[in-house]
């Protein structure tokens, strides 16, 4: 099994729909992150969580919400999807020990909002 | 604010050539620097992680160096192969677990 698993891998949804992207990890890391990747804009941080009770907004949190259900699970929700949220979404983890273990990324969820 | 720049943006080389990808960052107060590989439409695969106290790391045909004081890192790929074709991303971690990425170098290795 992958260290960081994202579901679904691909999703097409309609404008205005609510959608949830899920992430689970087996690294045992406390810190989890959601990024989106757009051509020409690179990877941008949406939300991050340092532990179950600590959730923080990243650069581009508007239109998104998150839930940290357990140390190993971190989900991203789009309450009312819009076409400019079409992107490749990545979940990542890190150990938070001043970078001793680096970051581990999931395989990504390709989301298309029509 | 940390900024990471990767040069060149794209590179095309014949198979077998040795090559160097460059990464520079503006704030030298980093915990580490990580090189990733991304195939089209796929996830990020970690290649090498260099701690701030280290000068280089090696894995197979890959060698990454770090000069923190000058804000530079290089990824050296020896004897390139068509399977090395991908986008290579450089990322630095700073305090507060903030990871800043460069835009990447798109590498094509021609048979």
Mean pLDDT of the B57-69 span: 96
Q: How far is residue A112 from each of residues A9, A17, B77, measured CA to CA in Å? A: 11, 12, 35
Mean pLDDT of the B21-40 span: 94
pLDDT value for B95: 78
Are B31 and B96 in contact by the 8 Å Cβ rule? The answer is: no
pLDDT value for A76: 98
pLDDT value for B27: 93
Residue B26 or residue A2, greater confidence: B26
pLDDT value for B42: 85
The partner residues of A113 in beta bridges, in order of sequence, read A13
Q: Does B46 touch chain A (CB under 8 A)?
A: yes
Look at chain A and count its residues. Answer: 114
pLDDT value for A101: 74
Mean pLDDT of chain B: 94
Strands B19-25 and B72-77: antiparallel
Q: What angle do CA A62, A66, A68 make, to 5 degrees?
A: 155
Q: Does B59 touch chain A (CB under 8 A)?
A: no
Q: Is the pLDDT of residue A69 over 80?
A: yes
Mean pLDDT of chain A: 92
Which candidate, B44, B58, B50, B57, places its Cα nearest to that of B86?
A: B44
Which candidate, A21, A30, A24, places its Cα nearest to that of A85?
A: A21
Task: Supply the DSSP string of A50-81, one letter for each residue.
Answer: EETTEEEE-TT-TTEEEEEEETTEEEEEESS-
pLDDT value for A42: 83
Are A56 and A32 in contact by the 8 Å Cβ rule? The answer is: no
- C-alpha distance across the termini of chain A, in Å: 32
CB contact under 8 A, B46 and A104: yes
- Find all residues with CB under 8 Å of A61, minimum gap 6, and list them: A46, A47
Are B98 and B23 in contact by the 8 Å Cβ rule? The answer is: no
Q: Is the pLDDT of residue A79 over 80?
A: yes
A33 CB neighbours in chain B (<8 A) are 99
pLDDT value for A100: 67
Q: Is the pLDDT of residue B35 over 90?
A: yes
CA distance B80 to chain A (A): 25
pLDDT band of A1, cuts 50, 70, 90: low
pLDDT band of A105, cuts 50, 70, 90: very high
pLDDT value for A16: 97
B41 CB neighbours in chain A (<8 A) are 88, 108, 110
pLDDT band of A61, cuts 50, 70, 90: very high
Q: Is the pLDDT of residue A97 over 70?
A: no
pLDDT band of B7, cuts 50, 70, 90: very high
Retrieve residue B28's tokens.
């030298």
Please tell me the distance from the alpha carbon of residue B49 to that of residue B44, in angstroms, as a whole number.
13
């Amino acid at each position: 099994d992958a260290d960081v698993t994202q579901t679904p891998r691909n999703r097409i949804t309609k404008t205005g729909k609510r959608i949830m992207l899920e992430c689970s990890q087996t690294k045992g890391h406390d810190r989890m992150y959601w990024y989106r990747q757009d051509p020409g804009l690179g990877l941008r941080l949406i939300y991050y969580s340092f532990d179950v009770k600590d959730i923080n907004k990243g650069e581009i949190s508007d239109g998104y919400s998150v839930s940290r259900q357990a140390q190993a699970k971190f989900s991203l929700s789009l309450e009312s999807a819009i076409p400019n949220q079409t992107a490749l979404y990545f979940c990542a983890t890190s150990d938070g020990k001043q970078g001793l273990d680096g970051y581990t990324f999931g395989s990504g969820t390709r989301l298309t909002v029509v | 604010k940390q900024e990471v720049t990767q040069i060149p943006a794209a590179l095309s080389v014949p198979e077998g050539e040795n090559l160097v990808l460059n990464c520079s960052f503006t704030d030298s107060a980093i915990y580490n620097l990580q090189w990733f590989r991304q195939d089209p439409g796929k996830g990020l695969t970690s290649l090498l992680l260099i701690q701030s106290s280290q000068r280089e790391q090696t894995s197979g045909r890959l060698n990454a160096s770090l000069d923190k004081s000058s804000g530079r890192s290089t990824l050296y790929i020896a004897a390139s192969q068509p399977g090395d074709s991908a986008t290579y991303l450089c990322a630095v971690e700073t305090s507060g677990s903030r990871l800043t990425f460069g835009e990447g170098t798109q590498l094509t290795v021609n048979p």
